[in-house]
Structure formats: structure tokens, C-alpha cells
Amino acid sequence: MNSGIDFPALKPADLEILLALSQQDLHGYGLMKQVEAQSQGRVVLELGSLYRLIGRLEREGLIRSLEDEADATRRKYYRLTELGHRALKAEARRLQKVVEVLHTRHLLEGSEGTS
Amino acid sequence: MKEVPERRRAPRLSWILRSFPRSHRERYGSEMVETYALLEEELAESPSLMRWRRRLRCLANLLWSGFRIRVSGWKSRIEGGRFRTPDFDPKKGGSSVEQWLRDVRYGLRQVARQPFLSGIIALVLALGIGANMAIFNFIETLLWKPLPVPRPEQVVTLNLVTSESSSSTFSYPFYRDLRERAQVFQELAAHRQVSSTLGEGAEAVPIEVELVSGNYFRMMQISPLQGRLLEPSDDEVEGDRPVAVISERLWRTHLQERPDILGQFLYFNGTPLEVVGIVPGEFRGAHPPLPADVWVPIAMQDAIRSLGASREDRGWGWLQGSGRLREGVSLEQARADLARVSAQLSAEYPRYFEDRRFSVSPATYMPSRTQSLVSDILWLMAGISGLILVATCTNVAGVVLSRSLRREREYALRRSLGATRWALVRQTLTESLILSLVGGFAALFISRWVQSGFVGLVNQVDRNAGFRPVLSLDLPTLAFAFLLSLLACAVVGLMPALKNLRAPLLGLLRQPAGSRQASSGSSRAFGLFLVAQVAICLILLVASGLLVRTLQKGNAFDLGFDSQNLLLVNLNLKPAHLSREAEARFLKDLTRVVAQEAPIEGAALALKVPLDGSKDRAGFRLPDANGEAASKTVPIDVNTVTPGYFELMGIPVLAGREFDPRDDSPGAESVVLVNQAFVSRASGFWKDREPLGKLLQTSEGTRFSIVGVVANVNYYSLGEPPEPMVFLPPGSVMGWPRVLHLRTWGEPAGLGSLVRRRVAKLEPRVQIDNLLSFEELRRIPLLPQRALALVSSIFGGLALLLTLIGLYALVSSAVTRRTQEIGIRLALGAHPRKILCGVLGRVMILVAGGILSGLVLAGALSSFLTNILFQVSGLDPLTYLGVAALLVLVSVAASLVPLRRINRIEPVRCLRYE
């Protein structure tokens, strides 16, 4: 089944958040730090942007929140939903195709040397 | 999972979180506060400068995010979310609503950047749109609207057509015959609106009364607001039922909504009539723009008008008719039926109804008498204001185009950064749309102003008109204004927008900033705009020139008598209810008394006033070859005048003598005077061609002998060929005349109160309907021309100003554009004057093109004006040449100002750019 067709391309920040949550459930602060770490500092989410994106992704059904009983502060954790997984996979496939095209056209070869 | 540091203190974020929508705050607010606390903790060890930078960045981001959530929430309400809309197009750079909003925001910024220029553009557009809107509203209300009655399409107006002319009045007996014999009407009503007074003595106020047949309201299908309306039984016997119904307006304003008004008696022209009902406000009579306030049965006509005539007089045509056609009867069927009845009537009453027939036309809001005058003026004004709209649009288009040329580089840059051509076109159009909508909004106010001016003008043309049309900004008018705004936007914005579409991209970016060359397309567009503006300007100025010449000729026209220092007093004797003898005595005394006053040189009475336009005719049998009255009766205009009239007016008596007081004495021979036109028309039949002593006979048999011949005077309108006229002494056939003519030693304007005092002293119940100097009266027939001259002069001046600005801008931008070229030519030794002449020559070719096309168009359009021009040809060469010369002069002057800059160009500085 080609589920990628139903999904539009993800925005870079959305992709980073879904990517971070694909490893483990995270609360807001943790998500912020994880995104920063996995993107090697390229993507830094400010507080407002973080919760704007969390709000939107949750509304779109790509992530959902769960109260962690074990956490003393009763902090909310976020988890990738099934739809979120599919959207992430679709995005990965899309990026893969882009990379394949770049390979066939030999556009990736010189780039390491020049940078 | 990462370890979360302990929370130490919760910073106060609440106020900044308000930038987020409430739902978002409720869901994530506390979490955000906690996360912020963690961030603060993380920063605790950093240097304070860095801490504050982070804090500020965080706060700014919070504000921005809150705003974005609000915007996207609004947007998704309009369009749905991106994962839920099946037709979402990921390639689109933002939704169309967002794009449009962006365009509007950007457009508003551009408009606000040049507030003065934008204001002028909007104002100029507002003038153009407002004038057109006002005229449209008038045309729609006055010419197209039906009567405000149920099923107005069934209501028709009755006309009486003769082979020569069409009139709308007929006598009561003919009305009755027609009502009984015609089969196409549900109801056929007769009516006649007359001026009267309400109240007694000095407190009487003028009021419009409509005398109506008993079935009038049944025909109109109106139901009463209070009481009852008039019924056929009210109109059966003459003078039998002194009843009246009044308008809601009169009841609410003049009578202060008296609850006990029904059953009360009000005095109309001194006659008490019982109020039996109130007509609801929206009904204003058969002629809504000249509304009536009281309706009285025709049977009461003598009480209101005091003419001493019975409505049963078959020869007295004074009524108008309106009818409601039966269900399914077409106008053609109605006309055929009326033709049948008319043929019967002609056969039965050859003396009164020869060569005549009844016809019908759809009833309109405007009565036909005023309609032709108003519609002529309105359509001409529509033409003039349409032209000015075109002129304003082309002018504004020029300004917008030049502004967009200045922004060519900006557009090129934006396109190279990925903006599509369509996006730029949309952007330009949005800006024009903003301007034209602002103009359209301002036009609402301008149109009201134009309208009140026009209503005042019509009332000045016809003082008795009482022109009070109900004008409202209804849906069609608003739609028209909106449409005009869009049209203006299209004309104004499309050219620059399309220009963008074609603009070469790279060439523009490569050019250095100071050396832009307008493409040939845009100069062509500029040239075209200028030609159009000059042409329109010329047309408007020619129109105003022709009208001004008409006014000049009209004012200088020799009327055949001395019109200086002449005061005319229209006396209303009806409220006094005097007998014929008492009336004659009063008028004689009044003439004698006022003539003795110091500022008054002389006084006389007459029935007709020159130029008043009305025709009173009586049937006469002309003298035949033997000087005896012939058998055939012909209608001839009559005027009744008192002795001394001709001397007072300065009308030369060419043969015989004037009336003298003895002509009035009992037993004296009945005498008349005739004018020259009468003699030249009639004397062909006479052996000796000598008019004096010949006999005239009225249709009733009274014989008159001609004792004098006077010069011709224009009694109808300016320049009309004089008609034969018979002057009768007072009291002979027509009763005593009621217009007092006073010759004064100086300006007659201040004598009104003196005359009023003298009249009141002799007979306090007599009222003065109208008191004005002849110079005022003389202006009235030319008021339509005066109004159009004013409008076309104002608009012509505006067009001239616009042309000047356009020309200045064109030449100025041409000089700026070609500074470099001119600099090089100067450096190579060219003389500045030669270059100047070259540029000027090119501009003048455009101006000449505009003038030529304007002359041709003006000549073609002048035929619309011929009806209202007086003694001036529509192709008057003086006017055309004068206007053309004026335009050439003004164009040269407007071009020379910016052209002088050529002298100041320094070749060296220009060459530096190369």
C-alpha cells in the first residue's frame, strides 16, 4: 500500500518533532532538547514555536499526549500516533526518492568536497 | 528519558500567554509555564547578558507564535485543515485567502506610503463616480420608476393627440363620455393638480391640491390610513359635498398629528372642506415628484379655483386622465379601443373634437410635462458626467502607470525572486481596487450633494413645480456605484498590470538605477491617455462654450419691449371671494394707488407675461375681404391688458391707438388691438390691407373692431417666431387680468413689501402668489442652459486641470528619462533650444491628435445640444476655434515648465553614468 500519496510533505520542524518522538515519548522540555540534539543544533525550537507545533500536530492527529503517572510533576508526555508513524514513513520515502534522484544525477558527489 | 531539573520558581508568563487563543492557553498554558521554568533554570548559570538575550528571544517567539496560531485558526475555519482537505495542493505557496490578504496588506501599505497622491487619486475618482451615481439615481427614480401603487404596470396616462401636437388635458364631459364608452379600463379617473392655500387670512400657506374624480383612489388601489378616501358619490353633483382627504405628510407636519382631524373643516382658498380621511405617506398623487397634499372631488372645483366656470362646459379642457387597464389588456388593445371611441366623439362633437383622438402611454413617476425637460437635462448631464469619468480614469491610469514604472525594478526584483507574473498583476490590481473603492465610498457623499443641487435647480426653473422627488440610495444605485468603481479600477489598474506582465526581466535589473528607459509600450500608453484627455477636455469645453454663448445671446436678445426695471406681481383673488364687479373695482383701485407711489413710474394689468410659456387661445372669426367676420373660427392667442399697458411696456403702437379708459365705459364700442404678426397673417384676405376698423367676432358672437396695431413681442419663449395675437380690453371676454406690471424708477427688487402693504390695505384677503422682477423671470427659460453651462464648465475646468497635470507629468518624465541622451547631445554641441523644440514638437503632435479627434467628436455630439442652444449653431466656429486655441496655449505653457530643465542639464554629470 502506498500510504505516502495521502500525505503532503512535512515541514522541517514537524519532521524533527515526529522524528524525536519516534524514539521515545517526551515531554515538552525533553522534546525541545531532543530536537536540538538530533539536528545537531540546526533546529532550535523556541518555547512558543514548540507548543504551536505540538498543538497543531496533536490537532492533526499525528501525536497525542499521555499523563505519566510515574512522574511526580504530573507532566504531560507526547507519543507518536499510528497516523504520525505513517506520515513519518511517507516523508522518509519522499526524501529517499529525492536522494535517489540526486544520486542518479550525480549531484551529491562533489558536495562533500566543496563544503 | 532525561532527568528534569527541579522547578524553583514560576516566572510570570501569564500576560504574554494572552497572545495565544484561549483554547490553546487552557490546554498548554501550565505546561508552557513549567517548561519556561526549566529553561530559566538552565540559564541560571549563564552570564546575564546572554540570559537576557535568550529571554527576549523566547518572549518574542511567544508573541509571534500566538499570533500565528490565531491566524491559522481563522484560516482553517475558512478552508479546513491540511490533513483533512482532500484537494489540498502542497505546491501552493499559501492559501488563496492568505495570498489575497497579503495583497491587501501590501496594497494598503503602498497606498499609505504616498497619502497625498493616493488621496488625490481617490478624490478625482470620487468626483467622477459620484457625479455619475447621482445622475443614475435620478434617471432611475424619475424616468424608470413606476408609480408607487399596487400593480403599477396596469396604470396608464391618457393623452389627447391632435395632428399638430399632443396635450394631456380635456374637458369633464369628454372624460365622462370616455369613461362610459371605453371598454379597456377597470377604472378611468380624471384629475388636475392646482395650487391653493391652506388656512385663512395672513396665516394661509401655499399647498398643492389635486382635484380628482370619485373613482380616483379606487383606480389607484390605495387604502386609507385613517377615515375613508373619496368615493364616486362624493363627485356626483357639482358643489354638493365639501369634503377632502389629506396626505399623511400634511397631517404629521402641518397639523401636528391632530387625533381629532377627521370631521374637522380646513380652509382651502377660503372654502371650508371637511377632512374625511388620510392617505398613507407613500402615495403622493398622480405626479409623485410634484406631490399633492390634499385631494378634493372635481365637483368642488369652482370652490377651489373660483373661475366661475362649470365643469359641464365641454369646451373647457383642463383635466388630465389616468386609468387602470383590465387584466390582460395590452397598450395596443387600449389604443385601438380609444381610437374607436375618439372616432365616435369626433362625429358627435365636430366643433370640439375635430381631428383629435385619445391615446394612452404607461404612467411614469415623472409627469410628462416635466419629464421631457428633466429627461433632456438628465441625459445631457449623464453624457457630461460619463465623459468626466472617462477623463478622470485615464488621468488616474496615467498616474498609476507612471508610479508603476517607477517601481519597475521592484517588480523585476520580485519576479527574479520567484513571484509569478500573475502575483504581480494581482498586486497592482489590488492597489487600484483599494483606491477605486475608497473613491466609490466618497462618491456616496458627493452624489447626495450633486442631487440636492439639481433638485434646487429644477425648482428654480419652475417655481410652481414643488419638485420634491423621493430619492434614496437604493440597491440599483449602490450596485451601479460599485460597478463604476470596478470599471474605474479596471481602466486604472489593468494597463500598469499588463505592463508588468510583459516587462523584460533581465534588462531592467541590469540597468543602473538612474538610467531607466520606459519601454515603447508605456510611452504609447501615455500618449494615448494624453490624446484621450485632450479630446474629452475639448468636448466638455466646447459644450460649455456653446452654452455660455447661448446665455449671452439669450440675455442680449431684444424681446420687443423694455425689460429693465419691471416688477411683476401675480395676484391671487380667489381667497377673497369677490364678485366680478368688486374684483374689477379692486384691481382698478390697486393700479391707481400703486402708480402714485414715489418709486413707481406706472402700473398696468395684463393676463400674460412675456416668456411665461403658457398659451391662452380663444376662437375668432376673422374679417373677410369685405371687413365682415367670416364664418370659420380659428384659435388665436389672446392677452387682456388695461389701458396704458403698451406705453408702460415700451411696446410701440404702429398704427391706430392704444386702449383708453373710455373703452371700458358702458355703451362704448368693443375694441381690440392686434399685433403685426396678426396683420401679416390675416391681411392677405383683405382688399385694402388696412387692418384698422376691421371686425373680429368671437365664437360666442361678440364683435370687436380693430383700433390699433402693435409691434410683436415674444410671449412664449426666446426666439420663437411671433404668433398672431389679439389684445382685449379688461372685462370683455376673459375677465380682469391678475398680473400687475409695475415700471419702477430704479431697481425693482426692494419694492415687494410696499406692494404687499398696498394690496393688504385695499383687500386683506387677496394673496400675492409671485412677485419678481422681469430680469429674474427672463433668466428662467434659460435655466436649463445655465445649469448645463455650469456643470460643463466645472467639469471642463476639471478636465483641463487633469490634462495640465497629465501633460506636465508626461513632459517631465520624458525629460527625466532622456536626461542622458540630452546630455550627450549637448556635449556634442547641440543647442538647448533645438532639443527643447524637438521634445515640445513631439508633445504637440499628441496634443494636436487630441484636439483633432476632440473636434470631430464634439461636432458629432453637438447634435444632442441643438435642442437647447439658442441662436448659436452646434458647430459654432468661434467656440470650436477658441477652445482649440486655448488648449494649444495651455499645453505649450504646461510643457514649457518642465522643459526649462533642459537648460539646466550639465552634460558632464550625465556622461558620468556611461
Which pLDDT score is estimated for B126? 87
Write the CB contacts of A74 (distance below 8 Å, at least 6 apart in sequence).
A67, A68
Q: Considering chain B, what percentage of its residues have pLDDT values greater than 70?
A: 86
Q: What is the mean pLDDT of residues B722-740?
A: 82
Between A29, A52, A62, which is nearest B35 by CB? A29
pLDDT at B166 over 80: no
Which pLDDT score is estimated for B168? 64
Strands of the sheet containing B767-773, edge to edge, are: B600-606, B739-744, B566-572, B767-773
Which of chain A's residues have a Cβ under 8 Å away from the Cβ of B62? 46-48
Q: How far apart are CA B491 and CA B664, in angstroms?
A: 74
Q: Test B4 with A73 for CB contact under 8 angstroms.
A: yes
Q: Where do we find the cell 514555536?
A: A49
Write the CB contacts of B674 (distance below 8 Å, at least 6 apart in sequence).
B682, B691, B706, B708, B709, B710, B724, B725, B726, B727
Which pLDDT score is estimated for B86? 34
Return residues 57-116 of B near A (CB < 8 Å). Answer: 57-58, 61-66, 68-69, 72, 81-83, 88, 90
Q: What is the mean pLDDT of residues B878-897?
A: 91
pLDDT at B806 over 90: no
Q: Where do we find the cell 547631445?
A: B825
Q: Test A60 with B27 for CB contact under 8 angstroms.
A: no
Which of chain A's residues have a Cβ under 8 Å away from the Cβ of B63? 48
| Residue A108 DSSP one-character state | S
Q: Test A46 with B62 for CB contact under 8 angstroms.
A: yes
Cα distances (angstroms) measured from residue B387 to each of B84, B538, B541, B850, B867: 53, 11, 12, 14, 20
Q: Test A29 with B7 for CB contact under 8 angstroms.
A: no
Which of chain A's residues have a Cβ under 8 Å away from the Cβ of B4? 27, 29-30, 71, 73, 75
Which pLDDT score is estimated for B883? 93
Cα distances (angstroms) measured from residue B690 to each of B360, B453, B723: 47, 54, 19
Element (H, E) at B633: strand B629-640
- Of B349, B294, B335, whose CA–CA distance to B176 is shortest? B349
Q: What is the mean pLDDT of residues B775-779?
A: 78
Q: Are B672 and B727 in contact (CB under 8 A)?
A: yes
Q: What is the mean pLDDT of residues B33-52?
A: 86
Å between B104 CA and nearest CA of chain A? 26
pLDDT greater at residue B906 or residue B435:
B435
Size of interface A-B (CB pairs under 8 A): 76
Q: Test A60 with B81 for CB contact under 8 angstroms.
A: yes
Element (H, E) at B604: strand B600-606
Which pLDDT score is estimated for B198? 86
Helix locations, B255-353, DSSP H:
301-305, 331-348, 350-353
Substitution target in B13, B20, B35 with the highest count of A β-carbons within 10 Å is: B35
Which pLDDT score is estimated for A1? 42
**pLDDT for B210-262, tens place per residue?**
999 999 999 999 999 999 999 999 998 888 889 999 999 889 888 888 889 99
Q: What is the mean pLDDT of residues B312-338?
A: 88
How crowded is residue B242: how many other Cβ atoms within 10 Å of its Cβ?
17
| Residue B797 DSSP one-character state | H
Q: What is the mean pLDDT of residues A37-42?
A: 88
Which of chain B's residues have a Cβ under 8 Å away from the Cβ of A74? none
Reported ipTM: the value is 0.86
Query: At B522, is the pLDDT very low, low, confident or very high (cuts 50, 70, 90)?
Result: low
**pLDDT for B842-875, tens place per residue?**
889 999 999 999 999 999 988 888 877 888 888 8
Element (H, E) at B571: strand B566-572
pLDDT at B324 over 90: yes
Q: Are B902 and B835 in contact (CB under 8 A)?
A: yes
B606-615, B620-629, B887-896 — which one is most confidently predicted on average?
A: B887-896
Which pLDDT score is estimated for B371? 63
Q: How far apart are CA B528 and CA B312, in angstroms?
A: 69
Chain A residue with the nearest C-alpha to that of B38: A29
Q: What is the mean pLDDT of residues B174-202?
A: 87
Between B4, B57, B88, which is nearest A8 by CB? B88
Substitution target in A11, A14, A43, A47 with the highest count of B β-carbons within 10 Å is: A47
Q: Are B174 and B353 in contact (CB under 8 A)?
A: yes
Q: Are B810 and B526 in contact (CB under 8 A)?
A: yes
- Interface check for A12 against chain B (CB to CB < 8 A): the answer is no
Q: Considering chain B, what percentage of its residues have pLDDT values greater than 90?
A: 15
Which pLDDT score is estimated for B92? 43
Which pLDDT score is estimated for B414? 76
Which pLDDT score is estimated for B751? 81
Phi, psi of B320 (to 5 degrees): -110, 160
How crowded is residue B284: how many other Cβ atoms within 10 Å of its Cβ?
24
Chain A residue with the nearest C-alpha to that of B61: A48
Q: Test B82 with A60 for CB contact under 8 angstroms.
A: yes
pLDDT at B533 over 70: yes
Q: Test A73 with B34 for CB contact under 8 angstroms.
A: yes
* Backbone CA torsion sign across B2, B5, B9, B11: negative
Ramachandran assignment for B107, one of left (phi > 0), alpha (psi -120 to 50 degrees), beta (any other): alpha
pLDDT at A55 over 70: yes
Å between A93 CA and nearest CA of chain B? 16
**pLDDT for B819-848, tens place per residue?**
778 888 888 888 888 888 888 888 899 999
Q: Between β-strands B294-297 and B166-167, what pairing exists: parallel, antiparallel or unpaired?
A: unpaired
Which of chain B's residues have a Cβ under 8 Å away from the Cβ of A71? 4
Chain B residue with the nearest C-alpha to that of A50: B65
pLDDT at B133 over 70: yes
Å between A114 CA and nearest CA of chain B? 25
Which pLDDT score is estimated for B504? 59
Which of chain A's residues have a Cβ under 8 Å away from the Cβ of B57? 46
Which of chain B's residues have a Cβ under 8 Å away from the Cβ of A55? 24, 27-28, 69
Q: What is the mean pLDDT of residues B339-347?
A: 90
Q: How far apart are CA B241 and CA B234, in angstroms?
A: 6
Q: Are B129 and B485 in contact (CB under 8 A)?
A: yes
Q: Are B455 and B467 in contact (CB under 8 A)?
A: yes
What are the beta bridge partners of residue B197?
Answer: B206
Which pLDDT score is estimated for B503? 59
End-to-end CA distance of chain A: 39
Q: Is B137 exposed, middle or buried (0-12, 13-18, 19+ CB in 10 A)?
A: buried
Rg of chain A's alpha carbons, rounded to an integer? 16
Would you state the torsion angle of the CA atoms of residues B846, B847, B848, B851, taken in this order, to the nearest 10 degrees? 130
Angle at CA of residue B317, ends B315 and B318, nearest 5°: 145
Between B1, B32, B82, which is nearest A47 by CB? B32
pLDDT greater at residue B169 or residue B207:
B207
| Residue B2 DSSP one-character state | P
Q: Test A33 with B63 for CB contact under 8 angstroms.
A: no
Mean of per-residue pLDDT scores for chain B: 81
Q: Test B39 with A29 for CB contact under 8 angstroms.
A: yes
Query: At B797, is the pLDDT very low, low, confident or very high (cuts 50, 70, 90)?
Result: confident
Which of chain A's residues have a Cβ under 8 Å away from the Cβ of B68? 52
Å between A26 CA and nearest CA of chain B? 8
Q: What is the mean pLDDT of residues B748-753?
A: 78
**pLDDT for B582-618, tens place per residue?**
888 899 899 998 888 878 888 999 988 887 766 667 7
Between A7, A51, A61, which is nearest B28 by CB? A51
Å between A47 CA and nearest CA of chain B? 6
Q: Are B276 and B296 in contact (CB under 8 A)?
A: no
Q: Are B541 and B399 in contact (CB under 8 A)?
A: no
Which of chain A's residues have a Cβ under 8 Å away from the Cβ of B31? 27-28, 51, 75-76
Phi, psi of B912 (to 5 degrees): -60, -30
Q: Are B387 and B541 in contact (CB under 8 A)?
A: no
Helix locations, B45-170, DSSP H:
48-79, 96-113, 115-138
Ramachandran assignment for B656, one of left (phi > 0), alpha (psi -120 to 50 degrees), beta (any other): left
Q: Between β-strands B671-675 and B703-710, what pairing exists: parallel, antiparallel or unpaired?
A: parallel
pLDDT at B903 over 70: yes
Chain A residue with the nearest C-alpha to that of B70: A52
Identify the three-state secondary structure at position B169: coil
Which pLDDT score is estimated for B277? 93
Which pLDDT score is estimated for B93? 47
pLDDT greater at residue B910 or residue B586:
B586
**pLDDT for B65-82, tens place per residue?**
988 888 887 766 555 444
Q: Test B61 with A24 for CB contact under 8 angstroms.
A: no
Q: How far apart are CA B180 and CA B190, in angstroms?
A: 13
Return residues 19-78 of A near B (CB < 8 Å). Answer: 24, 26-30, 32-34, 46-52, 54-56, 59-62, 71, 73, 75-76
State the amino acid at position B447 in one-letter form. Answer: S
Substitution target in A7, A52, A59 with the highest count of B β-carbons within 10 Å is: A52
Q: What is the mean pLDDT of residues B467-475?
A: 69
Element (H, E) at B679: helix B676-682
Between B28, B31, B57, which is nearest A46 by CB? B57
**Three cell numbers at B499?**
505592463
Between B7, B38, B61, which is nearest A46 by CB? B61
Q: Test A55 with B39 for CB contact under 8 angstroms.
A: no
Cα distances (angstroms) measured from residue B286 to each of B155, B220, B363: 10, 9, 9
Q: How far apart are CA A14 and CA A11, in angstroms?
A: 5
**pLDDT for B88-118, tens place per residue?**
333 344 556 777 788 888 888 877 877 877 8
Q: Between β-strands B271-279 and B243-247, what pairing exists: parallel, antiparallel or unpaired?
A: parallel
Q: Test A47 with B66 for CB contact under 8 angstroms.
A: no
Query: DSSP assignment of B398-447, as one string?
Result: HHHHHHHHHTHHHHHHHHHTT--HHHHHHHHHHHHHHHHHHHHHHHHHHH
